[in-house]
Amino acid sequence: MPYQFSFEPIYDNWGILAEGVLTTLGLTLAGGALGLGLGVLGAVVRFRRTPVQYQIVTAYVEMVRNTPFLIQLYFIFFGLPSLGLRLAGWQASILAMALNLGAYSTEIIRAGLESLPRGLFEAAAALSLTPRQTLRLVLLKPALKNVWPSLCSQVIIVMLGSSVCSQLAVVELTSAASLLQARTFRAFELYLFATAVYLLLAVLIRFLLRRVGRRFIARGRP
């Protein structure tokens, strides 16, 4: 007898699935905002090459970029309690996502700063702006504009990566689907559903971030 598709488990358990979707969104929102903030700070330090800070940020970036996300997550959740920092699953997830995105976006934003024409610095200097004012008022927005598409992609990568946070018993989309799968054995339908939702979320986030970018970073030209 061929496999009988049944999407009933999805209708019947929409509550937990909806919770999963919202949790994934929430993790992404918090981790994304914190991560991009970290990225801006890291990029500024790397760009200005302030001694000591520069080495610290470089070490952080390399550490994150050369280790698996799952290990970073485990380290924060299972490792840090040994140092007295005990975090809930969702807190550890947000922290891991923020640190991860922060490292990648540090490099992306720094590249954006470095791609700006020298003339912008010189025009700012000629107007007596301090280096700090130049960065904040003149360079940051054009740099972010240049790399905004890459940053959007990175946020989406981190959103998809939040799937791994199911390992900490955080009921996000992946763990919601897995929970129901274990109960109903409807793997095909549930993971198809999860796939579709991740895809939709990715499209939605890209759309929203593009609007944010247009509103705050690339004002003016459509």
Partner 1 sequence: MPPLINADGIHKSFGGMEVLRGTTLRVDEGEVAAVIGRSGSGKSTLLRILNGLETCDAGFLSVDGERISGLERDLRRLRLKVGMVFQQFNLFPHLTAGENVMLAPRAVKRLSRPEAKSLAGEMLAGVGLADRFDAFPDQLSGGQQQRVAIARALAMRPRVLLCDEITSALDPELVGEVLEVVRKLAAAGMTLVLVTHEMRFAREVCDRLVFMHNGVVGEEGKPAELFSRPQTPELAAFIGQAGQGSAGR
Contact positions vs partner 1 (CB under 8 A): 117, 119-120, 122-130, 133, 137-138, 141-142, 145, 217-221
Nearer to partner 1, 68 or 222 (CB): 222
C-alpha–C-alpha distance, residues 15 and 188, integer Å? 19
Specify the residue, 127 or 208, whose C-beta has the smaller distance to partner 1.
127
Which residues touch 221 (CB under 8 Å, ≥6 apart)?
none
What span, in angstroms and rounded, lies between the C-alpha atoms of 153 and 151? 5
Is the CB of 26 or the CB of 149 nearer to partner 1?
A: 149
Contact 54, 46 (CB under 8 A): yes
Instruction: Provide, rounded to whole angstroms, the least separation between the CB of residue 50 and partner 1.
Output: 15
Instruction: State the nearest-atom distance from the C-beta of 20 to partner 1, in Å.
Output: 39
C-beta of 4 vs 128, nearer to partner 1:
128
CB of 105 to partner 1, least distance (A): 19
Q: Which is nearer to partner 1, 183 or 219 (CB)?
A: 219
> Which is closer to partner 1, CB of 51 or CB of 221?
221
Cα(56)–Cα(38) distance, rounded to whole angstroms? 13
